[in-house]
Amino acid sequence: MLPASLRTLREKLSTLRCTASYTVPGRWVDRTESEVSFPSAGEYFLRQLDVIEQRCSQHRAPWSYESTIVYNGLVRHITAWDHGADAAAEGWCTNGSFLKTLALLPYLDNLHVTTLSLLPLYERGVVGRKGVLGSPYAIKHPLHIDHELVESCIDMDLDAQLRCLVDACHALGIRVVFEFVPRTASIDSNLVADHPEWFYWVHLAALRDGRFAAPVLNAQDLATAKRLVAAHSCIGLPEPDVAYQALFTTTPTHIEHTDDGWIGTTTMGERVGIPGAFADWPPDDPQPAWSDVTYLKLHNHPHFPYMAYNTVRMYDSTLDLPIYRQHDVWDHIASIIPQFIERFDIDGALIDMGHALPDELQRRVIQEARSRKPNFMLWEENFFIEEASRKAGYDAVVGYLPLDAHSEERMEEFLKRSIDEPFVTRYFGTPETHNTARIAARSGSPYRSLATWAMIAHIPYALPFIHAGIELGEVRPVNTGLGFTALEQASFTTSDLALFSSVVLPWKAPARLHEAWKKATARVAQR
């Protein structure tokens, strides 16, 4: 029997008065690559609920890391599809939604997926927005879900529709992992209204005339910073120059929300705004600054009012003392995951740059999550595979295979290491993520991509990880964040990238490829 939430969904779907036909990829309903049309959207969703109910009664082995396969993606991207002009006019989502992802579960079940990992699904900021839709990492409020992921034609609120997705996953023996982004917020975050002191502020003129940019260390200071950090020492870290530090001000005493974001006025009458963030390590990281995201201010020390690697990741030893911690910010961050456990009964969290939080805050985040759910899964966005992550409380890390799997030389080194120095920390077993190039683009063949994935999935301690689209031979990256040359980055605009705009996966991929993936994942699930 279906959970109560899904029975309610079925009742509401049964009473819908939909007249528009609803077309979906044949792959969603276990057909060929051709499209399939239903008399209405309601008929499609009811059909999928019936399939889910039938499969709920099947015997399933207990969930375990040893046999799990993860499917990861962005909700609005995974099930984006043009269902027909009439369906759109009737109000059904063209981009992905929670209920469309729910309806995709039989497809994921065919791939032997037992863990669904979702990229951030929170309300997005508008100021500095990239692309048509904006980045899911520009989080306006970490407790507010993106309202565009709801099917408004169904009389169920946003939380109820997301809970239906989670309940359907659980009914099929699939665990659900959400990604959380604890140390940043959108430029126009709702949090600013009540807590302007949680943010960095810069002279408004410097923001508008382009003077504000990531700080630059001279060659000597850069070398010193890298040497100290490599030695795990945060004593006397080199600081940005005085001119950069002078761009930052005290917290304004008056703030107002404008079309350009939050504008404040300090006690000295200075007009100030919230600056965009930038890659924080190494200090000479070539990534362009972020126009839509800013760092939360975790400490309040009069000597460190600025945003730089030694205040937002490495935490100078003089700064990271209890007396300077903004405890209400820390309390807020530590409370986010527990609230999602209570609201949606999620099973795990991927913590964006968890290792970049102060050690004490990272411990609190982990402890408070597991105090609500002892078997709660915690994954770390860390590209190093080290025992330190396991000791900190993480079950798995991203690791560096997504950056290295396309290189025969690096893969040879990785395999040798897995034999000579067996890993003790799980890592994502995948040749790509949403931040890297697609393996099909690098290998030139979706079948070579499958072979690479299958090989990785069988390496000890690998966590088999399907990044949405790899199984379809997708060659377009979701983002150009890691491992791209300047020329490769320039070849994509934000409208080409699913992280910022509406992009449809190649669901009409050959049936032969789909069957090959089903066989490969079946073998991996039995490993």
For residue range 193-204, list pLDDT tens digits in order. Answer: 999 999 999 999
What is d(CA 128, CA 304) in angstroms, rounded to the nearest whole number?
Answer: 26
Average pLDDT, the chain: 94
pLDDT > 80? residue 455: yes
Interacting residues of 182 by C-beta distance below 8 A, sequence separation 6+? 142, 333, 336, 351, 352, 354, 357, 365
- Two structure tokens written together for 445: 């063949």
Written as six digits, the tokens of 107 are 């497809």
pLDDT reported for residue 422: 83
Q: What is the pLDDT of residue 81?
A: 98
Q: Which residue type does 2 have?
A: L
Q: Highest mean pLDDT range out of 276-285, 410-419, 465-474?
A: 465-474
> For residue 470, what pLDDT band results from cuts at 50, 70 and 90?
very high
Q: Report angle CA 200, 206, 208 to the nearest 5 degrees.
A: 105
- Strand (E) or helix (H) holding 122: none
Residue 417 has a pLDDT of: 87
Convert 405-431 to b/e letters by CB count within 10 Å (16 or more is b). Answer: bbeeeebeebeeeeeeeebebbbbbbb
Q: How many CA atoms lie within 13 Å of 118's alpha carbon, on the beta-carbon side? A: 28
Distances (CA, A) of 189 to 126, 137, 179, 267, 334: 9, 12, 18, 23, 18
Q: What is the mean pLDDT of residues 294-303?
A: 96
Q: Which residues of 22-54 are buried (b: 16+ CB within 10 A; e: fewer)?
A: bbbbbbbbeeebebbebebbbbbbbbbbebbbe
pLDDT category of residue 83 using cuts at 50, 70 and 90: very high
Amino acid at 409: E
Residue 153's pLDDT band, with cuts at 50, 70 and 90, is very high
> Is residue 326 a contact partner of residue 299, using CB atoms and an 8 Å limit?
yes
Q: Domain locations in the chain? A: 190-328
Model confidence pLDDT, tens digit, residues 98-130: 999 999 999 999 999 999 999 999 999 999 999
Residue 186's beta-bridge partner residues?
A: 293
Q: Tens digit of pLDDT for each residue in 343-354?
A: 999 999 999 988
**pLDDT of 518 over the 80 cut:** yes
Where does residue 150 rank: exposed (0-12), middle (13-18), buried (19+ CB within 10 A)?
Answer: buried
Confidence tier at 32 by pLDDT (50, 70, 90): confident
Confidence of residue 515 (pLDDT cuts 50, 70, 90): very high
Give the DSSP H/E element, type plus range, for residue 459.
none
pLDDT tier for residue 445 given thresholds of 50, 70 and 90: very high
Q: CA–CA separation, 313 vs 316, rounded Å? A: 9
pLDDT band at 290 (very low <50, low <70, confident <90, very high): confident
282 cis-preceded (ω within 30 degrees of 0):
yes
Check residue 59 and give its pLDDT: 73
